[in-house]
Chains A and B, each alone.
Chain A
């Protein structure tokens, strides 16, 4: 049982194959890596700051936290601002947790799946956690394949927003540090949620809910498309279990939250100090490419935002003009002209609706896609950084080994009783070094594969969205033609 309509059929048998840059469609599963706990955080900062820090942390006891230095950094690092302009997110916020989260049923509408969306508001009982609302996901799949991981072809579950964050946390913990690109989850938004909770039933809170719903849907879809992540038991539980334990560690002020903050700061410092000698030009090239892509995508996103804004403005102004023209038509005493003016007002009203729809398409198709990709590139950078970190670890181990060897040589001469200890240490270290080398190689391999898949997905995504967008433009123009064609005889009829 796999997700309906998925382009790449998945093999359930996990076989390690060396997939460097193969051109085949199918990808084979791999063994799951369970490593040490690491909490990744993908940040993207607002356009005004135009920086992106993506950090994946690892809770290594050996990491020394120089908090004093990182304090100023942490301020910047914690100011996570989402790319949605009206809402400034602070993921690790210090604000008070709002009390009553409303719940809304939303089901993601995934392009390849039959997913039905149904959005409504329910009242939930008193909860203490911020930024939560219910989502209902329908994954319908009549096609029976060899994916035995899903219990049934269809599952409807209600999930809170924090559940999504919890899922992401778990997946990231398991996979990011070994080089898999875990898609980032949508961000928390204090402003948006407060508006919704206050119970304002106006268009802006509806918009917010819709935006979030669409974002969660895309997030889930992207995660599910990843061949390795799909097999993760947590994801499966998420998609199928009716009751899920509450993910408390996503809260800002929880222990985990504070730990995250601290680790983020430490990492920022480390990133500045590590200088890796890149032996593989492929990585260097890719990194540069992603840097450029990031910059360009941000710029484009910015212009798109501006366009959405102006189109909305245009729609509002057109509506005002339509009303004004109608009034003018009323006061005109020549009957045919009066009628024509009223008709003009009607046309403009319809045009206003067109502009609004077009702005919606601009946003939901293009702008959100760009935002997603900007965040994904953050993930990519995180993965690169993880590789650098592994390299650093390896270097450290190598250095330590060398030191120990030198010490052993000295001991050999002076204190033979400590020799055994030294030799044991050295052996241990040698093992560590070997493991480190293996890890490094593995992560490099994984990254290569992941980037290859990412590029392919990116190409398909962009192509698809561009075509859809152009189709929406076509439709707008066709409607425009219809409206003006209807008006023309009226105008000509003025005598």
Chain B
């Protein structure tokens, strides 16, 4: 039923896209578009329970067969790509761009089902209105998930090292199914245990005091920041949902007033009709405000929640390497004192040292970049949020004042 929603919805529903630039839709990241590799999601199709993204690449790099090509990818394949980065030892020193969240249309689908069931109990206008709203909501969720997948790809493409990754190129170019199946139960269980071990280890590692001030500071900062972003993200979601609920109520009030107005034979019927019309329009504005807040504020917070987690993961990896290095040092000392397996210990220590230093170096740069990106994204979004709020409030005010003028003039 929704497969063609993207095409028709873009014209019918509230025009979200008119306010965002149609170019790179990466609203939460400040990326320099590199001419050598440009990736975007040009199209998306929503089928029963999966979404098919059309990944479009433009590249001047020699290792691709063509300069411009497209493939169709599903969410699982994005996850596969992300996981391959995480598991790659070479990339331990980088902040791996967070994986996009799974497309979740369950809530929307449920609401649509409820609407279908309750069709008999409301008037035809109300039904069509609510259906339109739900479709608009579905479209909004759809656009969001497309945007998030795109941001992931763009981040990878913009990263000087990751963009050269072979898996990434396969992802972009191989125009057949990657046969990436989702993890089965056994693998999910393994993952679960791995996570448990990892978080326990993480606590251990985090307890080790770092010599380097920079990293020590970053560690404490990131921990606190991550928690607070999580909290802010939750609260902003709740706030926006209340806002949407209030807008829905205004819709119902508007219909009631309309009925009242048509039934009434006295002077006041004009009032009712006019106010009903007004409320129709203000409801649309309120819904837009909620949607914009969602886009600029809630999404921003959610994204940085994920990024700060990725940064924390980087610090963990470095911390792990540090612990390994220190252990290797201890082992070397022990070996030297016992004068046994010294060479082995030495090579081990050298490896650890090398690994640690490599991670530290790139981590420093990554964290600095992270901060720059974060500040830029917040700035952009907060400015846009304020501007949109102002725009809507002014529009709302104008509507109200003109309506008031008409009504007062009548009395």
Contacts and interface: CB of A to CB of B under 8 A. Distances in A.
Interface of A: 289, 292-293, 296-297, 299-300, 303-304, 306-307, 310-311, 313-314, 317-318, 320-321, 323-325, 327-328, 330-334, 336-337, 340-341, 344, 455, 458-459, 462-463, 466-467, 470-471, 473-474, 477-478, 480-481, 484-485, 487-488, 491-492, 494-495
B239 A317 contact: yes
A300 B249 CA distance: 10
10 contacts: A303-B253, A304-B253, A314-B246, A320-B238, A334-B374, A474-B400, A484-B389, A484-B390, A494-B375, A494-B379
Contacts of B225: 328, 331-332
The secondary-structure label for the interface of chain B is helix
A344 B383 CA distance: 11
Contacts of B263: 289, 292-293, 296
B382 A494 contact: yes
A491 B238 contact: no
Given A334-B375, A467-B404, A321 B221 contact: no
A470 B259 contact: no
A35 B146 CA distance: 77
A307 B389 contact: no
B268 A458 contact: yes
Given A324-B228, A466-B271, A473-B400, A296 B256 contact: yes
Contacts of B278: 470
A331 B267 contact: no
Interface stretch (B25-33, B73-81, B113-121, B391-399): B391-399
A307 B249 contact: yes
Nearest to B263: A292
Given A458-B266, A480-B393, 7 more contacts: A317-B239, A318-B242, A321-B236, A334-B374, A467-B407, A473-B400, A491-B386
B400 A300 contact: no
Closest 6 pairs between A and B when the two form their complex, measured CB to CB: A314-B242, A307-B249, A494-B379, A491-B382, A321-B235, A300-B256
B49 interface: no
Contact of B371 (A334, A458, A462): A334
Given A310-B242, A317-B239, A494-B375, A325 B407 contact: no
A296 B252 CA distance: 12
Contact of A340 (B231, B234, B249, B378): B378
A314 B238 CA distance: 8
B326 interface: no
B403 interface: yes
B390 A481 contact: yes
B403 A470 contact: yes
Contacts of A480: 389, 393
Interface of B: 221, 224-225, 228-229, 231-232, 234-236, 238-239, 241-243, 245-246, 249-250, 252-253, 256-257, 259-260, 263-268, 271, 275, 278, 282, 371, 374-375, 378-379, 382-383, 385-387, 389-390, 393-394, 396-397, 400-401, 403-404, 407-408, 411
Contact of A491 (B242, B259, B371, B379): B379
B253 A296 contact: no
Contact of B390 (A328, A331, A334, A488): A488
Identify the interface centre among B225, B239, B253, B389: most chain A CB within 10 Å of its CB: B239
B224 A331 contact: yes
B232 A314 contact: no
A386 B139 CA distance: 57
A334 B238 CA distance: 27
A110 to B, nearest CB: 20
